[in-house]
Amino acid sequence: MVFGLGRKAKKEEAAEPDDVSAEVETAEEAVDSSGRRSNGPFDESEISSRDGYVDLGALLITPSEGLQLRLEVEEATQRVVAVTLDLNGSSLQLQAFAAPKSEGLWDEIREQIGQSVGVQGGQVEEVEGTFGTELVAKLPAGLPDGSQGYRVARFIGVDGPRWFLRGVLGGAAALERPAAEPLEALFRQVVVIRGDSPMPPRDLLQLRLPKDATTTPPPAAPALQEPERGPEITQIG
């Protein structure tokens, strides 16, 4: 599997959602008698072995044919702050955060994303999707021909035991549900390694490059090199 390293200029990302034209049936996560989710994402306590996963420290990723991983590095601190999965022309950025024992973070984070997008002159819409309530954001953007369009990103989030996992879908997956299905499947298979150390809520869980990984430069397209890249740009009118 190929790994790439990207640079992240800001500590907080204003990632990117998707345009949803049809109402999607909500798929609630099944929970068995022990309280464990049966369809992911999973906590490390819910798997029997780490074998077969790509170990990125706080996240375990299931390999997939054609999948490329990019670890995104914050310039100021040189720490790895996100991992992006590139597959079939679409992307899924992943970040895991520490969370309180008694409550989740997703409701609060959705509200803050909406405020941030609003300040930038964009719009957000909450929709019911594969992982429950999702957020679709559109930001004004100029197109290469000088006309006006918008950038689209789709945010998904899952509250786990003492952790929160956020995903941001970009490319075709941000605009078309069928195109998102392979990345949604990978999102379901993610395992979060929270660890036992006390951490303030919202602190990023530490990611790292696998010891045996071979790194290569990111793809040539600038849009794929920038972790804070704008979502897919779509013509208006």
Residue 7 has pLDDT above 70, yes or no: no
In sign, the C-alpha dihedral spanning 51, 215, 156, 193 is positive
Share the mean pLDDT of the chain: 80
Mean pLDDT of 140-153: 85
Query: Which segments of the chain are extended strands (E)?
Result: 2-8, 42-43, 54-55, 59-61, 68-74, 80-87, 90-98, 123-129, 132-142, 148-160, 163-171, 191-192, 215-216, 232-235
- Of the candidates 165, 4, 5, which has an alpha carbon nearest to the alpha carbon of residue 78? 5
* Residue with more model confidence, 148 or 41: 41
Residue 75 has pLDDT above 70, yes or no: yes
pLDDT score, position 213:
59
Give the predicted TM-score (pTM) of the model. 0.77
